[in-house]
Structure 1
């Protein structure tokens, strides 16, 4: 089946769909792209899988994937659109109440942008602890309340309980002996990479006016946590993960906007000059 030709799940703002473009697409696809190599050969649960696109991506490397979502229409759509993938199945289920699934069933659990949609956050994480194998990993993401809502003044009607960083970490540390916290934010960057594929490590710098400091010095918009029952399970994780599309859709949209604005400014300047000329002729 060509998934691009499958029926489209209407976008309501509650969950991402792969037909969304530009910034929101980068944010959502990046999380699953980051999880994809960690899914290799593993039993995977995608809790609150939504449309199913991420579960389908993880299935390209995983042993098998179960996508669970509370919305009947999302599950029906996912089964129809991705039902041809042999190692992928979808079930209806509440991510905060997965009691029907046996203990230690999964080697990797992902639940992206789910936590802020539920009140029973502790119960959801407790369930993930039970379902996760001893050497497994949990990937969970959530927006930062300060940068996502407070600084922007925007209110997401589908968010029930947003968290500050310390609140998020308190939930994680109470349940997992080890976790690594990543910040996520769409950035405008200049990238340099070795074309011979040699070298190692990450070199990053952030400008503050004319002052340049080492590292990526930004306030994250989202957090992505990789959690484990055993510290050794976190070995091999990257220090930096980058994601983009070959068509550079966000940059292309930016360039189009700049061209339109420049053309509009030139047209306005022409009209102003013509108006001044006409006023001069009437004096």
Structure 2
């Protein structure tokens, strides 16, 4: 993925930008890293592409990528930042009313779009129309049960969220074959085979990206903290996994992490309040000497005698 030195698109909470950090960074980059495995040599439509980072990532392996977004400013930014890639272009357009030829794409990606529009059927039907007969749609959507109902959180930019069964009914109306994945940021203990030549050959897909998203390794590219070895005098068992995960259902580490984040955010807010109060006191204190000088001026003036002229010294 190549970029030019373009100022970041301002983050207003409606669309992700690569400069975002923590959970949202993992969630958004992971979707495109997953899609990257399925678009190699394909004609790709990235519908509601936003800032353009995902379209640019896919263009690194795809035959051609078209990023479409309803925002003129987002499209203009994407062209300026990623337009140097010859197999990538951006266009302004409404994902619910695509003005594109039928069967003109092999893959359509549309991440975090569905919940931002009311016209769900128009959106998905349009994707089915522009896809070839053996084409693939990759689409994401928050689960209303966990994202909103259980958490009590309301995203002001979401206009129509779906429950799992509602999402499946919608998708199967236009795509008879659907395989549903869950996505969630988890705290896990991870074991991965260090001598595994090809992660996909062992039945899993892994990707590790640099913070800027430019350097992507198709493996768990981390320095291990511990080594665990499986040894035998004969051949090792063929059923050894390439990847093993372990965690607790209560996600205790994540709960502690969230507690600390909330505590730090509250402390940061209080510090900002105290700093504002301190600035006010400093400003008021700075005015005190001037006020005292003005008050004391008449008295000071009356107590100071004019110097005698030089000729008065003769008397």
What TM-score results when the alignment is normalised by the length of structure 2? 0.65
How big is the shift at 1:3? 2.7
Matches within 5 A, 1:1-283: 3=3, 5-98=5-98, 100-197=99-196, 241-245=205-209
Structure 2 CA distance for aligned equivalents of residues 200 and 244 of structure 1? 12
Structure 2 CA distance for aligned equivalents of residues 92 and 139 of structure 1? 21
The runs of 5 or more residues in structure 2 that have no matched partner are 212-221, 223-253, 268-315
How big is the shift at 1:241? 4.7
Greater Cα offset, 238-247 or 143-152: 238-247
How big is the shift at 1:36? 0.4
Structure 1 CA distance for aligned equivalents of residues 169 and 203 of structure 2? 22
How big is the shift at 1:240? 5.3
- Pairwise CA RMSD of aligned residues? 2.8
What TM-score results when the alignment is normalised by the length of structure 1? 0.72
Q: Cα deviations across residues 93-148 of structure 1 (Å, max 9, x unaligned)?
A: 000000x2110000000000000000000011000010000111000000000100
Query: Does the residue aligned with 1:3 lie in a helix, a strand or coil?
Result: coil
Distance verdict in 2 for CA 1:200–1:108, change over 3 Å:
closer
List 4+ stretches of structure 1 deviating above 2 A: 1-5, 198-201, 238-248
Preserved CA contact (<8 Å) 1:26 1:244: no
How big is the shift at 1:6? 1.7
Structure 2 CA distance for aligned equivalents of residues 188 and 180 of structure 1? 25
Structure 2 CA distance for aligned equivalents of residues 200 and 63 of structure 1? 24
Aligned residues: 220
Preserved CA contact (<8 Å) 2:45 2:67: yes
- Number of the residue aligned with 2:247: none
Structure 1 CA distance for aligned equivalents of residues 175 and 190 of structure 2? 35
Preserved CA contact (<8 Å) 2:2 2:84: no
Preserved CA contact (<8 Å) 2:3 2:84: no
Greater Cα offset, 168-177 or 49-58: 168-177
How big is the shift at 1:7? 1.4
Between structures 1 and 2, the one with greater strand share? 1
Structure 2 CA distance for aligned equivalents of residues 199 and 14 of structure 1? 37
Structure 1 CA distance for aligned equivalents of residues 189 and 206 of structure 2? 12
Query: Does the residue aligned with 1:180 lie in a helix, a strand or coil?
Result: coil
How big is the shift at 1:246? 6.2
How big is the shift at 1:239? 6.9
How big is the shift at 1:5? 2.8
Structure 2 CA distance for aligned equivalents of residues 20 and 129 of structure 1? 32
Q: Cα deviations across residues 179-201 of structure 1 (Å, max 9, x unaligned)?
A: 11000000000110111117989
